[in-house]
Structure 1
Amino acid sequence: MTIRVWDYLTEYEAERGDILDAVETVFRSGQLVLGASVRGFEEEFAAYHGIEHCVGVDNGTNAIKLGLQALGIGPGDEVITVSNTAAPTIVAIDSVGAKPVFVDVRADDYLMDTTQVEAAVTGRTRCLLPVHLYGQCVDMRPLREIADRHHLPILEDCAQAHGARHHGRPAGTMSDAAAFSFYPTKVLGAYGDGGATITSDETVAANLRRLRYYGMETRYYVVQTPGHNSRLDEVQAEILRRKLTRLDGYLAGRRAVAQRYADGLADTDLVLPRLADGNDHVYYVYVVRHPRRDEILERLRGYGIELNISYPWPVHTMSGFAHLGYPTGSLPVTEELAGQIFSLPMYPSLPVEIQEKTISALRDILKTL
């Protein structure tokens, strides 16, 4: 048996009856697109966050893209964000014609270094896009102050932070809009693609609803700006409704796994995740750090353990984004992290014996490096 960073089969066996009932509910509903399941999930996901509006879309990338467009971001605008993220964050910015402008991350928690943001603001800056990475939130208080001084909207990338909190506030509620992914690996994951953008702004919400449906308010008639076919699927929405009721249990499971790692690896020279001040971490991934990362990963394969790197290539170093003009060395913390970080198995149904095997293998390897 190969141990990997993520697996859904144990969870599926436990929830199989409910998942299949969700599919049956939709198939018997008589409406397969933008029906009762999407509306129900939108209402319940908004209520979970204590916010007015949720607009379900087809994936997390389009949740960001449509969020930017709904905020009025377009060609020639600049969006300040980070390179230590999954490529879709930057793909979404690029897809609306805007330019990503990168600041570095903090060396201790790998989150946006908000002390660098104000210096990156120019006359073309139109949005700040913090990425709540690995399961905990960026320091939003100074970011909000910068946004207010320069009259800029904030769009939170919450793809990895369902249920996380910052000084008691849920991720996604500290901005003008926030984008979520429901890709299967996520803290709240569908059985396929899905996403949503939440907001308390009625105008932004109306823009989002038009944009996900070709730009239409009335069937067959495009109003104002042409949009996209970016609707959340009814089946995935109904599954997400069921799973949303279990989200707090998933979070407890992830935190229990994280605590076992912290206890089992505390006396090693692995750098373990640091909880930033004011944060409640949800451990979407459990990212550790070591200067001999590649050797550790190769030796773990001998134990039947295949781990992941989140992320091996900072976005600004990818050839597809060479046109942005960030040379090697321009984001030193991000670049150093890319050579040292890796993710341990993390999901709420992770069997204790698999986690203990992973801890034991790591301890054996670290002793002999």
Structure 2
Amino acid sequence: MTSLARSVLALTGLRKRFGATLALDGVTLSVGPGEVLAITGPSGAGKTTLCRVVAGLETPDEGSVRYGSEPMDDVAPGRRRVAFMFESYALYPHLSVRDNALSPLRAPGGGIPRERHRAIVDETLGLLEIAHLADRLPGALSGGQKQRAALARALVQQPRALLLDEPISHLDAKLRHKLRGAIRQRLMTRESPSIWSTPDGLEALSVGDRVAVIDRGRIEQIGAPEDIWLRPATMTVARLIGDPPMSVLSGELEGEGDALVFAREGLRLPLPAGLAADAARATSRRVSLGLRAGALSLAAEDAAGAARGEIYSHEPFGKHEIITFSVAGGAQIKIKTRTAARVRIGEAAGLICPPDALALFDTETGRALPASAARHTTHDTRDHARPQAAVATTGDLGR
């Protein structure tokens, strides 16, 4: 097989069914040399199946996998030179942590001189803060330690493609935030394409050069982290990405004089001019309104332009607070604020919705209307800037 260094990993039209369950539904994407593609979606969305197809552990019913110009569909898993960190760890129980990490380097075709094996492994174990566990067997490790041992086994390799299936999901929050930056920095030095799979949308935004959101086996949106964050292409993306995610309410478009209004029980919200112009061209009056938590604010109940409701819950987190605002009919809207709010559960209040807090979706198709997909401006750069892998915490990632 010819060398595929600095080749694109390309997946075209992948479909995979397990009985009545369609695990992958026409997945098409590519990952460039040295690029990290973060794939995020809920449990059962198809993330692991996608990785297993790339590694050759599952055979797609339709579609193809290519590295550069070479098709991989008939290439055995062992000859693909793919490093795959399994979500289930899959450690050799009779080997120590160090020997587990050394095992792929000792295999034929490892590509790294034997005299460098020990140094590479020990450096990687140090990076993952498990060097002191090098001589332990997997049975003597905690779940988070096993996860890092499995991660080390993948990171020491020089593969054609690197697949990380939930590589830090079982670590405590402090270590998870520290390591995602360190691992991201390590991946940036590689020439091979990498896929990082995670159910955590904020993690995906922090580590990926691009992010792919998948649900029920179908890619909902692929784009730069900023695009996924600011311009969700579908209601599914809006409900998955954010801290907290957008609140999405179903309703209808109604005319009110020269204005266009989003209306539902307990809420009538005039749309800003730009959004209304595109909404007026919608094929259906049935729409869903997305409200970005980090751009909303509370006001007095009788404040001009405020939607009326009451405080349903209040969650202080120190440097920010999450307030749930309830309107008549039971709809709830999440607000994220960095200013201390003196609120009482059950008290009446008003909700201010600036233009950049809003996105409109076609309720029937679930897709964003044109203005929602293209027009947002930044309300607060602290809330909307791309999270930085090395320093971001969930508190910094307001929506």
TM-score, scaled to structure 2: 0.24
Task: With a CA cutoff of 8 Å and minimum separation of 6, indicate the structure with the bigger relative contact order.
Answer: 1
Structure having the larger proportion of residues in strand: 2
Greater percentage in helix: 1
Whichever of the two has the greater Rg, that structure is 2
When the two structures are superposed, what TM-score results if normalisation uses the length of structure 1?
Answer: 0.26
